[in-house]
Copies of this chain bind each other. A is one copy, B any other.
Amino acid sequence: MNETSRPAQQVTIKDIAKKAGVSIATVSRVVNGKYLHKINPGTQAKVRRIIEEYKYEPSVSAVNLSKSRLRTIGMVFRPHGFKEFSTYFDEMIRGILSKVVEKNFNLMLLPLKMEHDVNFQKMVRSKTVSGLLLFWTHIDDLLIPTVMEENIPFVVLSNYSRALTYPYVDSANMQGASDAVDYLVRKGHARIGFISGSDDSRNAQDRFEGYKLGLKKNGLPFQQELYYRGSFLESEGARAMEYFLGLKERPTAVFSAGDIMAFGAIRYLKEKGLRVPDDIAVLGFDDSPLAESFDPQLSTIHQSVFDIGSNAADMLIKQIEGKGTPLKIIVDTKLVVRRSA
């Protein structure tokens, strides 16, 4: 009959009140630290002691119900959309969590099941979450209006719409891609191939825009034959390189919209006995954890997915708490020069 054998989670405000010889109202007040100045210090101490002894924690369901206020945010994403983005998703979660924990919120994962699943709608209406983080790796304006109808705070990560206006956080994709071209040109390249990501990815589109902008800034023309439409897959990188090598006039450098495709491109080059960067330079985008241990070490555009996550969580929590926030936050990218270019 020792202390720990009692099922701890059964302790309620009533138990504490009884043990302390006060009303539940008083317990509630000390728990919430409200009107504390008008509560007898002795009473406070006694209640606190009992709470400590029983390790009492108010039931969230009850608190939520009576306050109509939550501290849980949901993250909506496509479970199959990030297969090739493992570390990406991971870093993002880490970033979100850092803020969520700091602000004493909770994070609930809400995977989208099908193309037009409205799982999150249920979570919203049932008051399971008080705000949404939307992470889709592709443009999906179809779902956003549904979310908007719910009249709930939300922030979109790493994507945005040209048609709709809503809060989002993204990397400086265009700037980063433009910087990539700048660098390559400085290194003497004039024939720069581009491997794009999937068309339905806003990030991919922006990087493509950045590539074109970079060319233009450096007085180079955009040439259709130096553009390869990829899809962020490793195999696509290899295929792209196969295509470039087949050109009558090969590019001397290739800029890939994603590290993974750059890996594939380099793999293909090595298989063909070509050397990187001597024969062809390859520059990636992402700075994934493996860029550094790849052979050769990958030069790339670093983007801080962690910061995207933490900024988005910060924006969302501020919205939930009724504070003002900027409509968008763009996280800087940075060129990281290693061996491949």
A residues neighboring B (CB under 8 Å): 4, 7-9, 11, 55-62, 64-65, 72, 79, 82, 84, 86-87, 89-91, 93-94, 97-98, 101, 106-111, 113, 121-128, 149-152, 234, 263-264, 267, 270, 289-290, 293, 295
State A113–B97 Cα separation when bound (angstroms). 10
Please tell me if the beta carbons of A106 and B108 are within 8 angstroms of each other in the complex: yes
Contacts of A9 in B (CB 8 A): 124-125, 127, 150-152
Please tell me if the beta carbons of A57 and B125 are within 8 angstroms of each other in the complex: yes
Please tell me if the beta carbons of A127 and B289 are within 8 angstroms of each other in the complex: no
Please tell me if the beta carbons of A4 and B60 are within 8 angstroms of each other in the complex: no
Beta-carbon nearest neighbor of A87 in chain B = B86
Cβ distance A152 to chain B, nearest Cβ, rounded Å: 7
Known contacts being A86-B87, A149-B4, A295-B270, is A55 close to B263, with CB within 8 Å? no
Please tell me if the beta carbons of B55 and A125 are within 8 angstroms of each other in the complex: yes
Beta-carbon nearest neighbor of A9 in chain B = B125
Contacts of A79 in B (CB 8 A): 94, 97-98
Contacts of A97 in B (CB 8 A): 79, 109, 111
Contacts of A106 in B (CB 8 A): 108-110, 123, 128
Cβ distance A219 to chain B, nearest Cβ, rounded Å: 36
Contacts of A4 in B (CB 8 A): 149
Known contacts being A8-B149, A94-B79, is A127 close to B61, with CB within 8 Å? yes
Please tell me if the beta carbons of B65 and A59 are within 8 angstroms of each other in the complex: yes
State A234–B127 Cα separation when bound (angstroms). 44
Cβ distance A229 to chain B, nearest Cβ, rounded Å: 21
State A62–B122 Cα separation when bound (angstroms). 15
Contacts of A90 in B (CB 8 A): 82, 86-87, 89-90
- A-B pairs, top 5 by smallest CB distance, nearest first, are A57-B125, A61-B64, A86-B87, A57-B126, A86-B90
Beta-carbon nearest neighbor of A148 in chain B = B4
State A263–B8 Cα separation when bound (angstroms). 47
Please tell me if the beta carbons of B293 and A128 are within 8 angstroms of each other in the complex: no
Please tell me if the beta carbons of A113 and B101 are within 8 angstroms of each other in the complex: yes
Cβ distance A84 to chain B, nearest Cβ, rounded Å: 8
Contacts of A150 in B (CB 8 A): 8-9
Cβ distance A74 to chain B, nearest Cβ, rounded Å: 9
Beta-carbon nearest neighbor of A270 in chain B = B295
Please tell me if the beta carbons of B121 and A55 are within 8 angstroms of each other in the complex: yes
Please tell me if the beta carbons of A62 and B59 are within 8 angstroms of each other in the complex: no
State A270–B297 Cα separation when bound (angstroms). 13
State A93–B87 Cα separation when bound (angstroms). 13
State A56–B263 Cα separation when bound (angstroms). 49
State A263–B294 Cα separation when bound (angstroms). 9
Please tell me if the beta carbons of A62 and B65 are within 8 angstroms of each other in the complex: yes
State A112–B113 Cα separation when bound (angstroms). 28
Contacts of A59 in B (CB 8 A): 65, 126-127
Please tell me if the beta carbons of B61 and A65 are within 8 angstroms of each other in the complex: yes
